[in-house]
Homo-oligomer: A and B are copies of this chain.
Amino acid sequence: MDDAAAIFDSGLGWLEADGPHADIVLSTRVRLARNLQGHPYVARASDGQREVICRTVAQAFEKTSMRRRAVLLRMTEMSERARKVLLERRLISREIAGLQTGPDGGVAVAIAGDGPVSVLINEEDHLRLQGLVGGLRVADAWSMVDRLDEELGRGLHFAYHHEFGYLTCCPTNVGTGLRASALLHLPGLVLTKEIARALQGISEVGLTFRGLHGEGSEVVGNFFQISNQTTLGQSEEDLVEHLTRIVTTVLEKERRARQVLLRDAGPVTEDKVWRAYGLLRHARALEYEELMNLLSGVRLGVSLQLLPSPSVYSLNRIMILSQAAHLEEAAGRVLTPPERRAHRAEYVRRVLATGNPPTSGSGG
């Protein structure tokens, strides 16, 4: 499998929207932070030491059940656009995409071609194992990375303290090294102005929220990522169970808010979602932020059966594949901002016109 194909086929499984509550919970992600004993943390490692870490992990990876379906991508060998594609696909961090972790840090990503699991090497920690699945499936995502963790652990010596647990570069990750998050679409709570209370409730039980694109990112299109704040002092099973329970509470609140919306403002809501659809269906230029807000309206409409189409799958695809780097990758060239807006609008129209989104990239 060549790298470009790997990029374009990878990490999109969750878009299928086949998990539970996929109309509200777009995806669930679980990641484990691991470091190798006897090697300096990435931030303090020399280029040579990082290269050793990368090779060590890659060798261990070669002995796992994932090896056949996976490809190792070295960030320094990839174009900026390709790295941005991985970022937009939520497979790597903004820091890695921008090579801020060092121009020759040997950061690499091993991603399973058709699977929902990826491994980041030499990011903040030596290893970050990530599972990304559609719908609310914390336990599934956890068991995927847990299995990979176990397989890798056979060939690698992870830094572990009998009292604290797994040792990580950043203290907030010490312990299980597990961070689990769910990406939720909460327009009902936003429109009924219940969102502040719901988010406060989340904070009170040790969870936190942020926007679609991770730490520091703004909330757009009513998409919220909810994740655990601490990884210390609880078992992995507790963390998984806790997040599942809280997210379930939030999505039930969201469903109730939507019913309130339908009851108290049915025609207004119907008009709103159809207008969003009309704009997506016909606009000739779309900024990504506006697109996200319109997608939010359409997604709500589809979920409430006010709109007969498109599928949640189409909406998920548009959300990911109409980002800047994806559009440039599909066009095969750099796009000016007006071109980007035009390509984005064209891609959206194409998906909505057919009902079936193009299967590969955002087209020519």
| A residues apposed to B, CB below 8 Å | 267-268, 270-271, 274-275, 277-285, 338, 342, 345
Contact = CB atoms under 8 A, between A and B. Distances in A.
Contacts of A278: 278-283
B284 A342 contact: no
A238 to B, nearest CB: 47
Q: Which of A270, A274, A277, A280 has the most CB of B within 10 A?
A: A274
A300 to B, nearest CB: 14
22 contacts: A267-B284, A267-B285, A267-B338, A267-B342, A268-B285, A270-B284, A271-B283, A271-B284, A271-B285, A271-B345, A274-B282, A274-B283, A274-B284, A275-B279, A275-B282, A275-B283, A275-B284, A278-B278, A278-B279, A278-B281, A278-B282, A278-B283
A244 B280 CA distance: 42
A338 B271 CA distance: 11
A277 B285 CA distance: 14
Contacts of A280: 278
A160 to B, nearest CB: 57
Q: Counting chain B CB atoms within 10 Å of each CB, which of A270, A275, A277 scores highest?
A: A275
Contacts of A274: 282-284
A174 B361 CA distance: 72
Contacts of A342: 267
Max chain B C-beta neighbours (<10 A), residue from A283, A284, A338, A345: A284
Nearest to A276: B282
Given A267-B342, A275-B283, 16 more contacts: A268-B285, A271-B284, A271-B345, A274-B282, A274-B283, A274-B284, A275-B284, A277-B282, A278-B278, A278-B279, A278-B280, A278-B281, A278-B282, A278-B283, A281-B281, A281-B282
